[in-house]
Structure 1
């Protein structure tokens, strides 16, 4: 489903250099050093999650007693983001713990469009982690935590190719796994072949020091104007999930590890979308992608709700009647 390209040239900076000198790593310059998501609601309660400007459309598995890793391919898009402080992303979440006790641990990896953080509207590879339900946490290399080993992949670097509506699809494959020997959580990313990027030390975590209890894949948007559902920030491709292949964003070849170093295809998963008039998610199955899903939407730029359309029709009707009476 994803058009193949040379693995070493899928980030924009590769046009100038394919790798840093041996013993060094690429680091994107940034004035920002720490970002807190300040998310304080349950990840499993769709009604509660649509607060503080966040909206989600995700698939998840949380029925397994222990999860030691996950892997998936995501096609990459460049969604419209309404405000510079808003973002749109597609990512994997590995988690354990809860918001209620403020001990939620997460590892998050994917692509993100976030103008105020990165200075532009390009999709960029990013990582994030927290151990206290987002009261604190860290993006990529912006504070101590994730230890990078790769000299060829730069966290927060722009992704050079995005998917074309109705045309070629460009994507990245992400794998996160628990090393049974060191106990560290490792990350690998690639297009054609994998490149280990680095790891989160086991001692960084509390509830995830041994394993995760939930894996989630999907999209998230943040809009800062939370007085009403007025955002035109897009999720995924900006199209509803029902548009399907070559038009909607997707997660393909979903796998999880219920034992260390033992990835298996996902048999089934649950799905949720906070506001289905804005962003949707649908399940699919093909030989090439196994059980997978499409997700995304245009935000309030195109609301398909029958209630909203009905209200608009009533406004139009009353306006017409008023004009007729005015001219009689």
Structure 2
């Protein structure tokens, strides 16, 4: 039986003991204010959907419910869930399923919404465990997007462990671009697109050294920025911001001018990333802190004045797709940018 939207003013249903039915409460149309444990969602409208069935319930029902509320799911709609009685800092993003690819995407990190002309971060490098024969991958990096959900242009710079792609379980450095309008994408130099001008960093090459749990810690510095004269997007690497190459603006439809969204943190992708989730970051929950949990620091953006600045903390959203497997901790903002610990053990919890 499909969930039933409760008319305004109708009584709350009473389910029999042992019933598999439940009520879903949706609060929409509001705004997030504050950050961390002080975050709140205000000015929202509450709508209830009764007679949801545990046996048939799926996150895919949410698309129908969102449309029932008058939203277009083809747009960029993010849906978050919270267990009854939990505080909003335990907010989790509903895992997204990419239709036709059977690819589960889970994440933990910072989502940011603003006009963006560049993004940077210092990334703590680990080698998260992904099963040898798995087609899943675990990656950490920075991402800048523009466009609605089904037509997103994006640039991703990351390290990842992907046995099904690289044939091993080492952390490797990658650059990825995508034009969602023309449905074109490419990783590293596997097709024309990214133009490498320096070979000091090997695309697809192994990242060494990597951090050791409760031992030495190592980082990489990543900076993606738009050249205001040519409109090309450049990649700089290392503390000295040495340029590695660029993405010509002609590759993109919606990123030609600017980005409107960025993500800093970890992702896991793959057909079994939900049921057999690999590790993210160090493979330990971020509450363990420095030397044991993966971190990202010095998170900054390039604004409309072409200045590298600290992001506006009122425009970010910190969270995880599954708080049982991955989480975010230690979020703070200072003159050097945003800083977080993130990651987790995945299914090994």
Measured after TM superposition, the shift of residue 293 of structure 1 is 0.7
Structure 2 residue 309 is matched with structure 1 residue 264: yes
Matched, 1:150 2:198: yes
Question: What RMSD in Å do the two structures reach over aligned CA positions?
Answer: 2.2
The answer for the alignment partner of 2:78 in structure 1 is: 44
Asked if the contact 1:79/1:235 (under 8 Å) is kept, the reply is yes
Give a deviation string over 1:6-45, Cα, whole Å, max 9, x none: xxxxxxxxxxxxxxxxxxxxxxxxxxxxxxxxxx995733
Shift of the 60–283 alpha-carbon distance from structure 1 to 2, 3 Å rule, reads farther
- Which of the residues 226, 231, 255 maps onto 1:208? 255
> Deviation of residue 271 (structure 1)?
0.9
Residues 224 and 133 (structure 1 numbering): CA distance in 2 closer, same or farther, change over 3 Å?
Answer: farther
Aligned with 2:134 (options 63, 84, 92): 84
SS at match of 2:201: coil
Counterparts in 2 of 1:186 and 1:284: CA distance versus 1, 3 Å: same
Partner of 2:120: 71
Q: Secondary structure at the match of 1:259?
A: coil
* Distance (Å, rounded) in 2 between the aligned partners of 1:43 and 1:244: 32
Question: 2: distance between equivalents of 1:187 and 1:97?
Answer: 21
Q: Secondary structure of the equivalent of 1:173?
A: strand
Given the alignment, which residue of 293, 299, 309 partners 2:346? 299
Stretches of structure 1 that go unaligned for 5 or more consecutive residues are 1-39, 303-328
Deviation at residue 81 of structure 1 after TM alignment: 0.3
| Maintained 8 Å contact 1:112/1:123 | yes
Q: CA deviation at 1:290?
A: 4.5
Q: Given the alignment, which residue of 273, 282, 287 partners 1:237?
A: 282
1:141 aligned counterpart, secondary structure = coil
Higher helix proportion: 1
- Work out the CA distance in 2 between the residues paired with 1:150 and 1:298: 36
Indicate the larger mover: 133-142 or 285-294.
Answer: 285-294
Q: More displaced, 200-209 or 41-50?
A: 41-50
* Residues 1-328 of structure 1 mapped to structure 2, 5 A cutoff: 42=76, 44-45=78-79, 46-49=93-96, 52-62=103-113, 64=114, 66-82=115-131, 83-99=133-149, 102-132=150-180, 135-190=183-238, 192-225=239-272, 229-268=274-313, 269-285=316-332, 290-302=337-349
- Extract unaligned runs of 5+ from structure 2: 1-73, 80-92
Deviation at 1:286, TM superposition (A): 7.6
Distance change (3 Å), C-alpha of 1:95 and 1:141:
same
**Residues 258 and 289 of structure 1, relative CA distance in 2, 3 Å threshold:** closer
Query: SS at 1:213's partner residue?
Result: strand
Give the alignment's TM-score, normalised by structure 1: 0.73
SS at match of 2:116: coil
Question: Aligned-pair distance for 1:133?
Answer: 7.0
For residue 142 of structure 1, give the secondary structure of its aligned residue in structure 2: coil
Would the aligned equivalents of 2:232 and 2:248 in 1 still touch at CA under 8 Å? yes
Question: Which residue is 1:33 aligned to?
Answer: none
Greater relative contact order (Cα < 8 A, sep 6+): 1
User: How many residues end up aligned between the 2 structures?
Assistant: 256
Question: Is the CA contact 1:76–1:162 (under 8 Å) kept in the aligned structure 2?
Answer: yes
1:35-83: per-residue Cα shift (whole Å, max 9, x none)?
A: xxxxx99573332526632211120210x2x210011000000110024
Rate the CA distance shift 1:286–1:203 in 2: closer, same or farther, 3 A: closer
The Cα of 1:237 is off from its aligned counterpart by 0.4
- Alignment partner, residue 22 of structure 1: none
